[in-house]
Amino acid sequence: MKRSDIKRRPLSDTALASLEPEDKEYRELDGNGLYFRVKKDGNKSWQLRYKKPCGKWSWLGIGGYPEIGGQLARKKAQDFMVDIGKGENPVITKQQRKRKELEENTATFEALAKEWLTTKQGKWVDATMTRNRGALEKHIFPTFGKRLFASIRPIEWLEHLKRIQQQQQIFEQVNRMRSMCRDIYDYGKVTGRIDYNPLEGLHKYLEQGKKENMAHVSEQELPILLRAIDNYPTPDMKIGLKLLAMLFCRPSELRQAQWGEFDLVQAIWTIPQERMKKRREHIIPLPTQAIELLAELKPLSGHSDYLFPSRSNNHKPKSDTVFIMALRRLGYEGRQTPHGFRHIASTILNNKGFDERHVESALAHVKDGVAGVYNKAQYIEDRKTLMQWYANYLEELADDSVIQFKKA
């Protein structure tokens, strides 16, 4: 569009978008001292012509187009004209507005939360980072993400979190989100951006709910569960549940396991530190039963690097709900969770008199503080005996031809 074709002012959106450059830079009046500048290279921007207190005319840049459209440019120009009318220097007020806008953009709860998340890089495993970031994006950011974090009152947090609990019946998840948001505000406090934490003490007024994420059957019920697993119709999931019960690792560690982590000759599974909760490499001695199960599983995983590859993408592991769904299909929803196998193993091994240090090491539990840093012993030889005993014990429990005698 040629500038000679302009029919009306303020300039229409069509005119702004289609104005063509000429041999020389030119400006077209939009109205009230606001001009639209078109450079020879086609770049477009807004300028305000105003008179200084000394009586000389000057130009003030409003911003580039199309980043700043006509409506916003006119609003900005009007604000500057008000400043000029008060005798203020529009160049200074422009800098002040830009600084305030920048401060507000970095003072939102979402900005603070994302900055806090970066402090967790290298401390959280990928699955934890994905889960926690996803919870914030789904439940917190839509309501509070664009709000200035210092302006959100405790009552607003309480009402929002209680509403999620009541509508979705996710009590423990909401409490974990509350804990995360409290930590985010603590980060804001120690970095000098806020003086108090609006989530302090909020846990007292949220429903705690029944904690089911560690649910597990009793030792008396375990034989029936093991037989049910042995009859699971899908071969790879049957093997997965057996390994989960036998090795009592965290479900994510097995689900994301890759064949390169296993040395079947030495009978060890080395889980790299980046996949461990405490960011420490963990070695699991493999009992003979696990070696046999892995040999069965290998042909089922095809050419994937993963033990349990996704059906839709051979280069990714199965969904994080795969073991949960398998137990649900067996009729154990609410009674046995994948993580619950760790509780079963811990209880049995401690009750059978195994050294607590060896059991804790087998569970990849790390002591807090200095003791956890310096005590890196993994008791491999002792744990070989422990793991083989436990695999034999589970095998005996699952064998319905063996009479199980109850203690008097």
Query: In this structure, is the dihedral angle defined by the CA atoms of residues 110, 116, 118 and 120, taken in order, positive or negative?
Result: negative
Q: Which of 42-56, 99-113, 179-193, 311-325 has the lowest mean pLDDT?
A: 99-113
| % of residues, the chain, pLDDT over 70 | 91
Residue 100 pLDDT level (bands cut at 50, 70, 90):
low
pLDDT at residue 247, rounded to an integer: 96
| % of residues, the chain, pLDDT over 90 | 62
pLDDT at residue 168, rounded to an integer: 82
pLDDT greater than 70 at residue 400: no
- Are the C-beta atoms of residues 3 and 22 closer than 8 Å to each other? yes
What is the overall mean pLDDT for the chain? 88
Per-residue pLDDT of 129-181, as tens digits, reads: 988 999 999 999 999 998 888 889 999 999 999 999 888 878 888 999 999 99
- Are the C-beta atoms of residues 117 and 133 closer than 8 Å to each other? yes
pLDDT at residue 340, rounded to an integer: 93
Looking up tokens 């305000």 gives 48
- Are the C-beta atoms of residues 324 and 338 closer than 8 Å to each other? yes
Residue 228 pLDDT level (bands cut at 50, 70, 90):
very high
Helix or strand or coil: residue 268? strand
Can you list the pairs that 225-233 forms with residues at least 24 positions away whose Cβ atoms lie under 8 Å? 225/330, 225/332, 225/336, 226/394, 226/397, 226/398, 227/398, 227/400, 228/330, 228/331, 228/332, 229/330, 230/398, 232/326, 232/329, 232/330
Joined together, the tokens standing for residue 98 give 């830009």
| 268-271 sheet: strands from edge to edge | 262-263, 268-271, 282-285
- Are the C-beta atoms of residues 391 and 288 closer than 8 Å to each other? yes
pLDDT at residue 18, rounded to an integer: 93
pLDDT greater than 60 at residue 212: no
Cis peptide before 53 (omega within 30 of 0): no
- Are the C-beta atoms of residues 387 and 379 closer than 8 Å to each other? no
Per-residue pLDDT of 14-50, as tens digits, reads: 999 999 999 999 999 999 999 999 999 999 999 999 8
Dihedral angle, C-alpha 125, 131, 134, 140, nearest 10 °: -110
CATH numbers and ranges of domains, the chain: 3-102 (3.30.160.390), 109-205 (1.10.150.130), 222-398 (1.10.443.10)
Residue 104 pLDDT level (bands cut at 50, 70, 90):
low
Residue with the larger pLDDT of the pair 377 and 180:
180
Tell me the average pLDDT across 184-201: 90
Q: What is the rounded radius of gyration, in angstroms, for the C-alpha atoms of the chain?
A: 32
Joined together, the tokens standing for residue 6 give 């302009």
Residue 405 pLDDT level (bands cut at 50, 70, 90):
very low
